[in-house]
Structure 1
Amino acid sequence: MALNFFDQFMSPTWLGVPLIVIALVFPWILYPSPLNRWLNNRMITLQGWFITRFTQQLLLPLNPNGHKWALILASLMIFLLSLNMLGLLPYTFTPTTQLSLNMGLAVPFWLATVIIGLRNQPTAALGHLLPEGTPIPLIPVLIIIETISLFIRPLALGVRLTANLTAGHLLIQLIATAVFVLLPMMTTVAILTALLLLLLTLLEIAVAMIQAYVFVLLLSLYLQENV
């Protein structure tokens, strides 16, 4: 049993080598690649159908200029989904519980959307900082507020993903510890707590999927404002 509940969020190392590198590369090994055949197997067909449907749904509100991001957004969704789901397995490490990793993903993508907006349509991009019809005395204040909200976006992306996954993992760890403590003393209560742990695990699976989708969806919304 871990001496500290937060030990599970420490990046493991082996012989001084951080194993987070293996955790980041491993999901790509799990997905099969399409074969040079007329018909693929069921796994590849189902995988292609899921990626196609998700990409169509994600790019639905975007204009054709934003469709160039289809590959990178779909890849990011699959990458985050895989990391979140694999982190729920026993004796594994969840890289997306690290704020540094999430900010490393959020800041470049957010900055890319801002740069695209400033390059393609600078007037419209800067126009988002000042709502139409604003009274003249409020213009400086609103520009400052909108600028702050613009720069908070990547922080919100990274913190949302980190906080949701960290809270879920901590809650699972707490309830699992309670099950082991109650088992020799109150078996019935321990069994009921174990059922609660099972339901919580199912909820955490849903949270892992939803948070990966929300991360990419918010990026697509930021992209929609700048293309």
Structure 2
Amino acid sequence: MTRRPPRPRERGIPEATVARLPLYLRALQALDERGTPTVSSEELASVAGVNSAKLRKDLSHLGSYGTRGVGYDVEYLIYQISRELGLTQDWSVAIVGVGNLGRALANYGGFGTRGFRIAALLDADPAVVGDAVAGLRVGHIDSLEEVVAREHVSIGVIATPAAAAQGVCDRFVGAGVTSVLNFAPVVLNVPDGVDVRKVDLSIELQILAFHEQRKADGRGGPEWIEALEA
């Protein structure tokens, strides 16, 4: 049976807080690699790129792990955030679309250390099927349902052209996958109970261009940025 990643917001954690937890985790892991045993909220907030009041409020949703005058135990907070995000177990991932983006995702070494196992690569192009990528043989898209069942796929990644994305998503959902990461430049329609996260690099660039324009116009001061990000 396909496992479903946990949904922290079901426990009353705001979506904006959930989105920042990976930032805190990354900052804590960097501190841990440097041998830092404890960290104050101000120091952690600075490393994570948020203000300390927001950080303390976010972490309060997880419980009370800080000690006044001492700060947070880095290793323990790493564990608590990892547990909340469902990263204390491995999640099986299938990537559909093995073009340049799909290959780059498959070859990214950071997934394995963060609880994600790339279990399968699938494509519809006969010229791509059979290629060896990141130690895996690219399978044909026709085997998607079989692969999901065999590898217990929890998360489907769509890196196809826009025209193919909805069909791939429908097949993932039909196979029991309820968490989808979409890199295709299209909005996917999914039934209730299915979570879709969309990654659109062009939108991110446009947002950065917006910030640059604001700064050029003299409207990009810290107070304005804080208001925008609240």
Question: TM-score, normalization: structure 2?
Answer: 0.29
Which structure dedicates a bigger proportion of its chain to helix? 1
Which structure dedicates a bigger proportion of its chain to strand? 2
Question: TM-score, normalization: structure 1?
Answer: 0.29
Structure with higher Rg: it is 1
The higher-RCO structure (CA 8 Å, 6+ apart) is 1
